[in-house]
Amino acid sequence: MKRFNVPFILLGIIILISSCSSNKKNEESITFGVMSSMDYLPLAVAEREGYFTKHGITVKIQKFLSANERTPQYKAA
């Protein structure tokens, strides 16, 4: 039984070590599509107070006026 656990333990250690990252800054950004509602409020407050930049996250908030603008229109082939 112990013979079978050793490879899994080694695999877990390898995954744990490889997932540790250095102090490199991530240059990617996150884009949120939002409509004017109460659900948008936490994002607006976090952006206004600078919480995203404080934690090194680039966030773009794209506002939509209606659901038709938010949902992409797909054409049948």
For residue range 33-76, list pLDDT tens digits in order: 888 788 888 888 888 999 888 888 888 888 888 777 767 665 55
The counts of H helices and E strands in the chain are 4, 2
What are the start-end ranges of the H helices in 20-73? 41-49, 51-54, 67-70
What pTM did the predictor assign? 0.49
Residue 1, pLDDT > 60, answer no
For residues 19 and 30, the model is more confident at 30
Q: How far apart are CA 34 and CA 40, in angstroms?
A: 6
